[in-house]
Amino acid sequence: MRERGGFWVGLFASVFYPFTWAFARRSVRGGEHLPRQGGALLVLNHPSYIDPVVDAIFVHRLGRVPRFFTKHTLWNIPLLSRVLDGAGQIPVYRGTANAGDSLRGAHDALKAGRVVVVYPEGTLTQDPDGWPLDYKTGIARLALANDVPVIPAARWGTREIFDSRRRRFRPFPRKPVNLVIGAPLDLSSYRERDVDGKLLREVTDVIMDRVRDLLKELRA
């Protein structure tokens, strides 16, 4: 059963499905690991600015409506703010007094049974070869505070279409973009411990080590 997204999600889909089809040959492995209902954290690598568009299509094709962290300044654009609110996106307040509201919005989305897509680096990877690097511990805070599946995944191919570091857009010919979704991680033993900086770093590394392993499989 497909999760209903409403008018704005339908509008996004009508625009971005053909847009991404034009330059990406998409394939998914492990789609059965994404639950068809209920909250879930989907954790991914982030080598290109087009990742959210492509990942949104991947998740939507699996029957769920993804929620992403989005720069709060985009809510200053009148029409776009309505679209973002209608699609249930989560504003990120970097470097402001409201910075904590970003995680609060993600907690609320998970409690409401939504799929939240997280790029733990918080921005594009700074590794020139495209590997995940310098992870933030916000993903661990979300994973420990919410009893939802934490699902590692990796996607490769978007950087061949848009190399964000070099500002190089090469949509043609169509290129393969592959996603592999791993089994949910068992973090039950970590949830029994007191939360401190050491635990947050440990859980973050456990999650991202699995993301890296899946990316190794894709990149062979």
Q: pLDDT truncated to tens, each residue of the chain (220 aa)?
A: 678 778 878 888 888 899 899 999 999 999 999 999 999 999 999 999 999 999 999 999 999 999 999 887 878 887 777 778 888 889 887 665 565 677 889 999 999 999 999 999 988 999 999 999 999 999 999 999 999 999 999 999 999 999 988 889 999 999 999 999 999 999 999 998 999 999 999 999 999 999 999 999 999 8
Query: Looking at residue 182, what is its pLDDT?
Result: 98
Query: Looking at residue 110, what is its pLDDT?
Result: 96
Residue 12 resides in a domain? no
What is residue 16's three-state secondary structure? helix
Query: Looking at residue 108, what is its pLDDT?
Result: 93
Residue 69 resides in a domain? no
Query: Looking at residue 190, what is its pLDDT?
Result: 95
Residue 127 and residue 178: Cα distance in Å, rounded?
Answer: 20
Query: Looking at residue 96, what is its pLDDT?
Result: 59
Query: Looking at residue 87, what is its pLDDT?
Result: 80
Q: Beta-strand (E) ranges in the chain?
A: 24-29, 40-43, 66-71, 90-92, 115-118, 150-156, 162-163, 168-169, 175-181
Give the range of the structural domain holding residue 157, as residue numbers without chain letter. 25-64+113-219
Query: Looking at residue 16, what is its pLDDT?
Result: 87
Q: How many domains does the chain have?
A: 1
Q: Helices 138-145 and 197-219, interaxial angle, to 10°?
A: 100
Residue 73 resides in a domain? no
Residue 181 and residue 154: Cα distance in Å, rounded?
Answer: 7
CB 67 within 8 A of CB 89: yes
Query: Looking at residue 33, what is its pLDDT?
Result: 98
pTM greater than 0.75 (yes/no): yes
Query: Looking at residue 98, what is its pLDDT?
Result: 63
Residue 84 resides in a domain? no
Residue 204 and residue 211: Cα distance in Å, rounded?
Answer: 11
Residue 150 resides in a domain? yes
Residue 105 resides in a domain? no
- Say which CATH number the domain at 59 has: 3.40.1130.10
Residue 1 resides in a domain? no
Query: Looking at residue 99, what is its pLDDT?
Result: 58
Residue 203 and residue 99: Cα distance in Å, rounded?
Answer: 22
Query: Looking at residue 95, what is its pLDDT?
Result: 62
Residue 191 resides in a domain? yes
